[in-house]
Structure 1
Amino acid sequence: MADRSSSGRSRRRRGKLRAWRKKLADEQAESTVYRELAARRQGEEREILLELSEAEQRHADHWRKLLGPEAEKPRRATLRMRSLAFLARRFGWIFVLALVQRAEARSDYDFAEDATASMAADERIHGEVVRGLAARGRARMSGTLRAAVFGINDGLVSNFALVLGVIGGGAGTGVVLLAGLSGLLAGALSMAAGEYVSVSSQRELLAAAEPDERAHSSVPYLDVDANELALVYRARGMSAEQARQRADAVLRRAPTAALPAEPGGTQEGEVVGSALGAATSSFLAFGLGALLPVLPFLAGADGASAVAVAGALSGLALLGTGSTVGVLSGGYPLPRAARQLAIGTSAALLTYLLGVLFGVSGAG
């Protein structure tokens, strides 16, 4: 009986050691991820990421202390953490941050027997820090990212639907190619022009809301006892009392005072992105997406085999864009991928049925 009890304790001890070594390896890998991401950044973002790396090393020290001499027997981190470290070294930081955000959210320290309450709390805070960094990155690239992702999706759906609609109408390969390439060029130009106008207009609207520089320089010359400075702050949304206190504080700093920027303001470039960048990425993305359904026909295929290849290429690309949106938004990629595929497939089938209904058999 004693031997069985001793054997059971020994097995449990070995199991714990394996679990601790895995936790140690994961924390070291996560620390590496943050260091690799920090190497791509400058200033405050770099400092934040390096501090997160140090925090993960603090957690690693906890498992190293529990392991004692056993810590010298390293174990590989999980595939997920090794993959994150690989991606951090080679790919864009926003994409990796979105994955890290999900990894932090899935931490099991709330239930891990030998993890401390402070470690579990740390992981939740780390998740919020990563969420904030990812949000800043998304804001900076929002215009170009939106144009690229949705450009590919629009090109895929619209041109695949167009190609199937023409095929459903009984058109030959020549007409399919003409329709597909015309749809590609027309759609890409339309998308680029639309993005350029949209982003330029948004920049102009933001610029129109910026305070007048002449108003800034006029503050030192205001009559301290009779002026309308408080109305500026009321127009920006402050209460009458808050506006009066703010105006008094500014006037007390005269004659060197200037009209402060609106509280909580953001740089327009960070929010909107570049108009030319959005237009260019939209043109290229739409063109790439629209090219995929036409590729089999350009390669000389025709009939059912060409349609099958075009469908497979388009389906894979739709899954890819849906997954990308899911990852970058910090959500699960599979539901977004399935949704994107369902929408694209439904649009293509509907257009094909319309082509069959209003067929032009013998054309081309």
Structure 2
Amino acid sequence: MENVERNSVIKNYQSGKLTMMDASSIPAQVFFNHFEAIYRNIDKANEMSQITSLPFWKKFKPFINDNRVNYIKSMMLNAWNTEYALRSVVKTPESQVMNSSLHWTFPQAYFSVFYSIRALMGTQGIYTADEGALAKRMATWVEHGVYPASLGYYSSGNYNEFKIHRLPKATVIPSVDYLRDEEDVASHVAQFLKTTRTLKAKKLREQIQGNEDTALKNKKTGDPILKFSKQDWEKITSQIPVTTVFDLLGRLKYSENNREIERYLNANIAFDAFHDSLIGIVYYLNLVHETYLVKALGMETYQKLLNEMPVYLREGFAFERFNQLIKPQLLTKAVYNKKQLAA
């Protein structure tokens, strides 16, 4: 990944924070902190070794044919093009350009990961573009340990009783302003999981109750229930898969669709740091997917796939991830395994 001076960005942001906070900026500031927390929670130094040490990694041996290879190539071209466009915003440092770009950078962060998930699903012969199916598949992946711990957390359970998994340091009330420490970081991620699961539950309730055929009804009157009990909510939340980092990224897309983007445009927050967080999250999620893809396709086929990409991608972050992170780790792993077998 390009060397972004994260500490200096956060330091400048913190030093300016005391003079810029106002009531209208608080929702946007909390939203920013959530994504900054996701990024800071990623164990960047050990990400690669964590991936290749996972039990799921060792069992991952999908069948690959020409149809699957062609599909994967198409999906990765979309994923990398979207990531390329997202990253290009940072090269334009003018604050006004960066602020107005949120209209398309928000959904682009989501869709880059969306396409790389589709590519990984292609190794299983699954070619769907249905977002609900993708979210369910990623929820299953997260639960089964496809992702390293720093990206493999999730929320489950019934409304107002949500449980957080794999975030042991989420023990404090998250701050409104800048992130203070590891506990604050984990707590922000946990809060984001809970609020996102709450929104998903409420949305599903509206859909179910808005349909005469599916609505939960009062046994005496036959009218749709207005006040939900714990048991009523269980009928709703039991239909929702666990809430993952993919659902958190989905908030970017839906914020744009619901015109909530205006709250961020009018807020006084550090948009450059916000963009850096989004780029970092996308970088490492795509890194995980690409590592599995290299194992599925083999290094030679994956290298060929990269070589067939447009020049601006062949010389950028996709090659960097493969040559500097994925390839050395897998070669080291292969050598190590051979030595173990020889012993």
Give the TM-score normalised by the residue count of structure 1. 0.26
Of the two structures, which has the highest relative contact order with CA contacts closer than 8 Å and spacing of 6 or more?
Answer: 2
Give the helix-richer structure, 1 or 2: 1
- Give the structure with higher Rg (CA): 1
